[in-house]
């Protein structure tokens, strides 16, 4: 990130009680007066909120150690034996202070690989302190003041949203509390908490610029504030969020809140169309599709609205090796010489088949899907996202073509099943290439050829959010006040840009039928972008989804395959198999993460989530 960041050592905060994370000094080894004595140091202190952003491309994101966060859902397998498969996916969530994603880890607070929840409370403390100090400071120019205020409001809204989408309604943390105050707050409803997110994003929009100059590129913008507000509104309208603090029952969408979410998403789309203030967001073309996710001549793609720039930059080559590059092409040694991303058959099956100018789900009677020729005529995004057994991957030293041998007896398959790193985990038969470019391997070592960002919201997601809200509010083909784009229109825009035909009209006749296609479209378009897990929770279908097995593919080559140079021509026999090591334990209570035991035990009014 090209930010003139003054590194301020912020006192590590812990979430071992509400008093702890609300009662800390702003810096360690530096006084508050020094931190807030000039604009540069104040901005440096606030910039810790950027440093604490979730980086899903880091090899040790949230201390989950070489395991893709996408393996929480049905998108990915967990090839490396660690916290995610040994504890999180077993449902053993309660009182796990060192557990990434569901817990908190005070030893890492403020770092990019700390727990999301821990960093969120840490960032709230920073933003509240900055807002209080700016109000008392007279030496700032109007521009400096607005820069600090806008970013502080933005991060207060963003990090508070990260808390409530995992824990449910919380108290309003709108100032830096002191230890002599009564901090035994009651929890609010999700809707009341959501209103705080919206208020902060509205304030952020007022003060943030449309664009930053080149030296400040990557900071939050007006467009980012609008997009977060839109995303948060869809969550607020979703089934899970219609529960109060004491319940976790299967609910319907809130129609009025869906109308609001559609309006907010439309605001973002209109803002993008207007190009206000020089903002250059756009839906990129199908020819540019892979460069949404990595790029060599720009800092962020035009489709990226809110993102963590240079994700994995703490040694990008290592991050790529560990997460995305299969062992034979990774180099390195030990655990660094393996890839631990593994798309499942479950996600592969969501990519439709194109047949006769129409696109069909694979189980549709007109799809023409052949389980012994399973990768023919699929959605173009499939070929961008997934490497299949025998696929040509790259060109090695001396110009020799390299092929992915994730088939029975193939070199990549053998390395996975015989390698101690996997600890008896089962391979899925696939590798994700959405964030991996040709030449980023031990043969050519082009690890740093491209920039790789963690994208939190991009233009395509706004269309998907809009479609979901519109479908629930007005049906597939309905419109509303000032909302002329239908849900079907929005989905087809996303499909058409990659060459996919429109959704079949048989799926657009009812809200219920089209709902399933919208959800399928999200799974395909947002694959591996850390949405699927939270979507399953907010839709309250995780129990249903995880009642079905996580599956992989077993590709068996013909006899004599060793002598065939072009592995992509091999006539494989395919078998879909259940992965016995990929069990997801998910009960009704798992829709909300448990609140730390100490907080519930020590505070009279602070309620635990249902079932914990």
Express each pLDDT in 518-562 by its tens digit: 999 999 999 999 999 999 999 999 999 999 999 999 999 999 999
Q: Identify the DSSP state of 408.
A: T
pLDDT-derived band at 26, boundaries 50, 70, 90 = very low
What is the C-alpha R_g of the chain?
24
| Beta strand segments in 421-481, E | 431-432, 451-452, 454-458
Q: Residue 583 pLDDT more than 70?
A: yes
With CA atoms as reference, report the closest residue to 589 among 608, 569, 611, 573. Answer: 611
Model confidence pLDDT, tens digit, residues 362-413 = 999 999 999 999 999 999 999 999 999 999 988 887 889 999 999 999 998 8
Q: Give the integer Cα–Cα distance in Å for 297 and 301.
A: 10
The separation between the first and the last C-alpha atoms of the chain, rounded to the nearest angstrom, is 40
Provide the pLDDT for residue 313. 57
CA 474 distance to own-chain centroid: 28
Q: Which residues contact 370 (CB under 8 A, 6 or more apart)?
A: 376
Mark 255-271 as b/e (b = at least 16 C-beta within 10 Å): eebbbbbbbbbbbbbeb
pLDDT tens per residue, range 118-167: 999 999 999 999 999 999 999 999 999 999 999 999 999 999 999 999 99
- Ranking 16-30, 129-143, 379-393, 588-602 by mean pLDDT, the lowest is 16-30
pLDDT-based confidence at residue 414 (cuts at 50, 70, 90)? confident
Query: Is this structure's pTM higher than 0.85?
Result: yes
Instruction: Name the token pair of 241.
Output: 């969020």
Q: In sequence order, which ranges of 47-86 are alpha helices (DSSP H)?
A: 48-51, 83-86
Q: How far, rounded to the nearest angstrom, does the alpha carbon of residue 486 sit from its chain's CA centroid?
A: 26
State residue 455's pLDDT score.
97
Dump pLDDT digits (tens) for 53-87: 999 998 889 988 888 899 999 999 988 888 898 89
**What mean pLDDT is reported for the chain?**
90
Tell me, what's the pLDDT at 317?
Answer: 75
For residue 2, the model assigns a pLDDT of 36
Confidence of residue 237 (pLDDT cuts 50, 70, 90): very high
> Confidence band (pLDDT; 50, 70, 90) for 474?
very high
Min mean pLDDT across 332-336, 350-354, 491-495 is at 332-336
The pLDDT value given to residue 13: 34
Question: How confident is the model over 80-107, as pLDDT tens digits?
Answer: 888 898 899 999 999 888 889 999 876 8
Distance of CA 106 to the CA centre of its chain: 23
pLDDT value at residue 18: 34
What confidence tier does 28 reach under pLDDT thresholds 50, 70, 90? very low
Q: Give the pLDDT mean for 467-480.
A: 98
Average pLDDT over residues 315-331: 78
At 102 the three-state DSSP class reads coil
pLDDT at residue 423 tops 70 = no
What are the φ/ψ torsions at residue 272 (nearest 5 degrees)? -65, -45
Instruction: Band the pLDDT of 315: cuts 50, 70, 90.
Output: low
Q: Which SS3 state, helix, strand or coil, does residue 553 take?
A: strand
Provide φ and ψ at 455, rounded to 5°: -95, 125
- Average pLDDT of span 207-212: 98
Domains of the chain: 1-67+108-208 (1.25.40.390), 210-311+453-540 (1.25.40.900), 316-452 (no CATH)
- Per-residue pLDDT at 21: 31
């Amino acid at each position: 990130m090209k930010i003139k960041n003054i590194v301020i050592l912020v006192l590590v905060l812990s979430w071992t009680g509400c008093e702890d994370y609300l009662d800390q000094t702003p810096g360690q080894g530096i006084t508050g007066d020094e931190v807030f004595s000039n604009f540069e140091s104040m901005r440096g202190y606030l910039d810790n909120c950027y440093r604490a952003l979730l980086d899903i491309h880091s090899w040790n994101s949230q201390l989950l150690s070489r395991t893709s966060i996408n393996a929480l859902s049905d998108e990915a397998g967990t090839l490396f034996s660690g916290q995610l498969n040994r504890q999180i996916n077993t449902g053993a969530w309660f009182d796990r202070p060192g557990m990434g994603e569901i817990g908190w880890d005070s030893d890492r607070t403020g770092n990019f690989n700390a727990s999301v929840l821990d960093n969120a409370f840490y960032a709230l403390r920073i933003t509240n302190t900055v807002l209080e100090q700016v109000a008392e400071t007279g030496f700032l120019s109007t521009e400096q003041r607005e820069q600090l205020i806008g970013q502080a409001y933005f991060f207060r809204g963003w990090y508070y949203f990260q808390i409530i989408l995992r824990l449910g309604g919380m108290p309003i943390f709108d100032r830096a509390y002191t230890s002599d105050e009564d901090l035994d707050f009651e929890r609010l409803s999700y809707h009341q908490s959501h209103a705080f997110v919206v208020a902060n994003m509205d304030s952020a929009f007022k003060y943030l610029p449309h664009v930053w100059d080149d030296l400040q590129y990557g900071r939050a913008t007006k467009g980012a504030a609008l997009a977060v507000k839109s995303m948060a509104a869809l969550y607020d309208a979703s089934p899970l969020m219609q529960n109060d603090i004491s319940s976790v029952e299967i609910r319907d969408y809130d129609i009025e809140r869906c109308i609001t979410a559609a309006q907010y998403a439309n605001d973002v789309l209109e803002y993008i169309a207007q190009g206000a203030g020089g903002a250059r967001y756009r839906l990129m073309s199908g020819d540019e599709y892979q460069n949404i996710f990595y790029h060599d001549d720009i800092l962020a793609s035009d489709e990226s609205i809110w993102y963590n720039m240079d994700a994995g930059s703490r040694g990008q080559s290592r991050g790529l090796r560990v997460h995305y590059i299969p062992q034979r092409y990774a180099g390195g040694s030990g655990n660094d010489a393996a890839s631990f991303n593994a798309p499942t058959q479950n996600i592969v099956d969501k990519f439709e088949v194109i047949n006769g100018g129409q696109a069909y789900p694979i189980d549709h009677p007109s799809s023409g899907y052949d389980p012994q020729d399973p990768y023919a005529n699929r959605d173009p995004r499939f070929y961008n996202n997934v490497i299949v057994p025998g696929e040509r991957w790259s060109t090695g030293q001396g110009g020799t073509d390299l092929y992915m041998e994730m088939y029975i007896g193939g070199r990549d398959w053998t390395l996975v099943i015989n390698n101690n790193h996997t600890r008896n985990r089962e391979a899925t038969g696939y590798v994700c290439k959405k964030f991996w470019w040709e030449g980023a391997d031990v043969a050519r070592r082009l690890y740093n050829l491209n920039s790789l960002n963690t994208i939190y919201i991009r233009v395509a997601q706004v269309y998907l959010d809009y479609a979901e809200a519109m479908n629930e509010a007005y049906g597939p083909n309905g419109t509303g006040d000032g909302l002329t784009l239908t849900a079907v229109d929005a989905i087809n825009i996303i499909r058409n840009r990659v060459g996919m035909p429109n959704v079949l009209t048989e799926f657009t006749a009812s809200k219920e039928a089209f709902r399933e296609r919208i959800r399928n479209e999200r799974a395909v378009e947002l694959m591996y972008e850390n949405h699927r897990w939270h979507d399953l929770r907010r839709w309250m279908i995780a129990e249903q989804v995880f009642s079905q097995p996580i599956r992989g593919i077993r590709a068996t080559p013909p006899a004599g395959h060793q002598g065939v140079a072009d592995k992509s021509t091999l006539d494989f026999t395919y078998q879909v198999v259940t992965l016995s090591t990929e069990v997801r334990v998910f009960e009704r209570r798992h829709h909300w993460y448990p609140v730390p035991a100490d907080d519930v035990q020590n505070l009279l009014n602070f309620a635990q989530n249902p079932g914990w």
